[in-house]
Amino acid sequence: MILLNKNRFFGGGRWGVIQNSSFRCALNTVRHGSTGSFAVISSFAGEWDYKNYQPVAEAHITPRLSHKQVLQTHDTFLAQLDRCGMDGIDLYGAIENVFGHAYGTGIVTLYENNATPLLAA
């Protein structure tokens, strides 16, 4: 279930928080000037808190997207992550599903998924 999805005060990005039976994560998407934007997925234990999270994945979003398109991409990523969790997919698999698909379509130019080492610890 999506618990939070709101704009950040500075930087023009957006925060989203998901909590379901498969995983808990936060998605932070920020536009980074002419170099493009990036999205960071963080895992957390317990209840969501801005201080209680561990970054596990990052994706670089193509610089050709407008600010509005970056925010729409964030909302799409958040909904897809939530759907994966509701379908019983773990965080690593959900990240691969969402960022991997976006990489295949050219929306994401590079991504790294480190969810497995964190979850295995």
Confidence class of residue 117 from pLDDT cuts 50, 70 and 90?
low
Q: According to the model, what pLDDT value does residue 10 have?
A: 66
Over residues 32-42, the pLDDT tens digits come to 777 778 899 89
CB atoms within 10 A of CB 117: 10
Q: How many CA atoms lie within 13 A of 7 on its CB side?
A: 10
* Mean of pLDDT over the chain: 88
CA nearest to 106, candidates 62, 47, 43: 62
Q: According to the model, what pLDDT value does residue 116 have?
A: 78
| Chain centroid, CA 51 distance in Å | 17
| Chain centroid, CA 41 distance in Å | 4
Res 97 pLDDT > 80: yes
